[in-house]
Structure 1
Amino acid sequence: MRKAIILFTRAPIPGRTKTRMMPWLSPGECAGLHRAMLTDIAAECRRTEADLFVYFTPGEEEAAALLRPLFGEEVPLTAQSGADLGQKMFRAIAQVLGRGYDACVLTGADIPLLSAPVYERAFRGLASADLVFGPSEDGGYYLVGMKEPHPEAFQIPSYGHEKVLDNTLEGLRSAGLSVAFTDTLFDVDTHEDLLRYRDALCSSPAPDLRATGRFTADHLVLSIIVITYNEARTVDRMLEQMRPFRRGEGRTEVIFVDGGSTDGTAEKIETAGFRLLRTQKGRGLQLNAGAEASRGDILFFLHCDSVLPEDFDRQIRDIMIMNEYGCFGVRFPSRNFFMWTNRWISNFRAKRRAIVFGDQGIFLDRRLFFRMGEFPEIPLMEDYQFSLTLRSAGYRPVMARRRILSSARRYRGSTMTKLLRMKQMYELRRRYRRGEDPAELFEEYESENWEESVLPGRRRHRNG
């Protein structure tokens, strides 16, 4: 059987294509998204045994020059002709079948999940039916195929409404024509549609990061939320790391959230020209305030004393195009054996037990963050509880290739002091899980005499 695929498309001209993506994408970026989708369609068509014919919107003089590099010299490019969409589709199908093909299917260019297996299922449908349709979720169809021209398929009075497929099928049944169906898919016309496409990649057992996926990864908005409280000694280094994103333009924004510093931290941030929110002190409260004020598709929560790998934003985007939740591994600026052990335990805990702490740089899908109820606004354990909440909902973090360098300032002192602090943190988490008051745990954690709570025989007994 000689098979053909007809692609109906606009040329990827800025300002004329994917305009419903604006203002989230610029006109040039809209054209870039269209090019990516056409690149994927061309690749999928080459995986089939069908020949490809491209029909472009009439009146676009530069169409051939823009489309030829995407499809190659061997693919015919033809301007659509006809008074309305139905007539244009019928004429294209009649022309291609007139070339001696046994079957052809016609599709649009707005379906990035359209793949070679979908085309093949459509052709198999034509083995036992007069026509085949690929239903779209908005009530229309993205694919129509037949073995001989059937004008009855294109006689509805209008397109672009939720009854297009129903009205078409009603006319075909009246004509006594049989119909088969291939996969139901959705168009990608808006920002929300593109995020849904990303969701489909996340849920796929074997996601295929094609050109549209790479474009999406590059254009997701990343919001970096840095919380501060009396960080005058560390904030300069963080400001320098964030300097490339200071203006908040493009696809990355930075929001500092200060909890009432008295050492000049907030003034340094303002002088450096960064966006600053002022709140009451409290990590959960500050993190939530930053998230609520952000515009990002991805939220990245960061401690001020962290040192990031150079390409941290690229690593986040690469992970988040096919995942909803991730983190960095952690390392410490210490050669102490027990600090190395602490590093190993922290990273193992994130990978194997899905427990991530704030110093590992938690990043996740904005919608997931708010769906999980944000960080609990408690004095201590806000990151621990948030990880537990995500894990209980079935989410596990994907760890980036490189590590965040996290301050070891809470582990100051001798090796014994480091071990006592590690033991204290373990005990505090255990007691939190047993239901003890986070405010009391925080008071104990911040106490100048904290060692007494973990030395044998010193900690006062509590009821769980």
Structure 2
Amino acid sequence: MQHLTTTALLIFIKNPEKGKVKTRLAATMGEDKAFSIYKALMAHTRKVALSQPCKRMLFYSQSIAEQDDWSAQDFDKKLQTTGDLGHKMKIAFQTAFAEGSQKVVIIGSDCASLRAEIVAEAFAKLDEVDFVIGPTYDGGYYLLGMRQMQTALFENIPWSTDTVLEDTLKIIHDISGRYALLPKLSDIDYEEDWIRWGKDLQT
């Protein structure tokens, strides 16, 4: 079982602004529907996060919203740093470890299939291995966890490509790290993703 002060769940979100989130969904479904879907995905992610007995750190993309659906009592609100996704995640992990966390897991807000049990399993597996990864069908990952900072996982990777998972696993292999894989899930990026994986969410 996770301990509140030594485990941290990091959540990366984009500030919800119609026309600037889920643009690939909006291309075929329209901005209003895409925005509604994004809000539903955020609500789902928030519910999953709240199920975990750990420290929760919420990283906004542009500005910290003091008054929104993410209660400051439940989430330590922070701002993502500048740079590419790898640099942003690296700084977030470093922040969590610097604050005393011993097991750190990061998720985004794009996965409608993510369940509380999967996140709990990620923390549990970090008792046995160095890294835990939740792979996606498009070659990336929806979750990454580690119990010791390893900056190499965030460097020299072409983000938002279909080789992110492969490149990450190669780095882990090169540093002789032990890892575990979680169930493969799908992010919601395109209309076909929503139809297959997300349409049961309330929008």
Q: Name the counterpart of 2:32.
A: 28
Which secondary structure does the structure 2 equivalent of 1:54 belong to?
A: strand
Q: Name the counterpart of 1:167.
A: 167
Q: Name the counterpart of 1:16.
A: 20
Match status 1:70 vs 2:69: yes
Aligned AA (2:194): L
Aligned AA (1:141): Y
Distance in 2 between residues matched to 1:89 and 1:37, nearest whole Å: 20
Q: Name the counterpart of 2:157.
A: 157
Q: Following TM superposition, by how much is the alpha carbon of 1:31 offset from its aligned partner in structure 2, in angstroms? A: 2.1
Q: Is the 8 A contact 2:157 2:164 kept in 1?
A: no
Q: Following TM superposition, by how much is the alpha carbon of 1:83 offset from its aligned partner in structure 2, in angstroms? A: 2.5
Q: Following TM superposition, by how much is the alpha carbon of 1:82 offset from its aligned partner in structure 2, in angstroms? A: 4.1
Distance in 1 between residues matched to 2:28 and 2:116, nearest whole Å: 30
Q: Following TM superposition, by how much is the alpha carbon of 1:198 offset from its aligned partner in structure 2, in angstroms? A: 4.8
Higher helix share: 1
187, 199, 214: which is aligned to 2:202? 214
Q: Name the counterpart of 2:87.
A: 87
Distance 1:176-1:54 versus aligned 2 partners, 3 A rule: same
Q: Is the 8 A contact 2:157 2:167 kept in 1?
A: no
Q: Name the counterpart of 2:119.
A: 119
Q: Following TM superposition, by how much is the alpha carbon of 1:23 offset from its aligned partner in structure 2, in angstroms? A: 4.2
Aligned AA (2:101): Y
Residues 325-377 of structure 1 show CA distances to partners (whole Å, capped at 9, x for unaligned) of xxxxxxxxxxxxxxxxxxxxxxxxxxxxxxxxxxxxxxxxxxxxxxxxxxxxx
Aligned AA (1:14): K
Q: Following TM superposition, by how much is the alpha carbon of 1:25 offset from its aligned partner in structure 2, in angstroms? A: 3.3
Q: Following TM superposition, by how much is the alpha carbon of 1:54 offset from its aligned partner in structure 2, in angstroms? A: 0.9
Aligned AA (1:26): G
Q: Name the counterpart of 1:134.
A: 134
Aligned AA (1:43): K
Q: Following TM superposition, by how much is the alpha carbon of 1:32 offset from its aligned partner in structure 2, in angstroms? A: 2.1
Q: Following TM superposition, by how much is the alpha carbon of 1:145 offset from its aligned partner in structure 2, in angstroms? A: 0.6
Q: Name the counterpart of 1:146.
A: 146
Q: Is the 8 A contact 1:139 1:163 kept in 2?
A: yes
41, 45, 48: which is aligned to 1:44? 48
Q: Name the counterpart of 2:104.
A: 104
Q: Is the 8 A contact 2:113 2:198 kept in 1?
A: no
Aligned AA (1:50): C
**Which ranges in structure 2 are unaligned for 5 or more consecutive residues?**
none
Considering Cα pairs closer than 8 Å and 6+ residues apart, tell me whether 1 or 2 has the greater RCO. 2
Which secondary structure does the structure 1 equivalent of 2:12 belong to?
A: strand
- In the alignment of these two chains, the number of paired residues is 198
Aligned AA (1:125): K
Distance in 1 between residues matched to 2:157 and 2:116, nearest whole Å: 32
Distance in 1 between residues matched to 2:42 and 2:97, nearest whole Å: 23
Aligned AA (1:111): C
Q: Following TM superposition, by how much is the alpha carbon of 1:167 offset from its aligned partner in structure 2, in angstroms? A: 1.0
RMSD between superposed Cα atoms in Å? 1.7
Q: Is the 8 A contact 2:131 2:177 kept in 1?
A: yes
Distance in 2 between residues matched to 1:156 and 1:139, nearest whole Å: 16
**Which ranges in structure 1 are unaligned for 5 or more consecutive residues?**
202-212, 216-464
Q: Is the 8 A contact 2:135 2:184 kept in 1?
A: yes
Distance in 2 between residues matched to 1:30 and 1:4, nearest whole Å: 30
Distance in 1 between residues matched to 2:146 and 2:202, nearest whole Å: 34
Residues 304-342 of structure 1 show CA distances to partners (whole Å, capped at 9, x for unaligned) of xxxxxxxxxxxxxxxxxxxxxxxxxxxxxxxxxxxxxxx
Q: What is the TM-score of this pair, normalised by structure 1? A: 0.41
Distance in 2 between residues matched to 1:195 and 1:81, nearest whole Å: 33
Identity percentage of aligned residues: 25
Q: Following TM superposition, by how much is the alpha carbon of 1:156 offset from its aligned partner in structure 2, in angstroms? A: 2.7
Which secondary structure does the structure 1 equivalent of 2:129 belong to?
A: coil
Larger Rg: 1
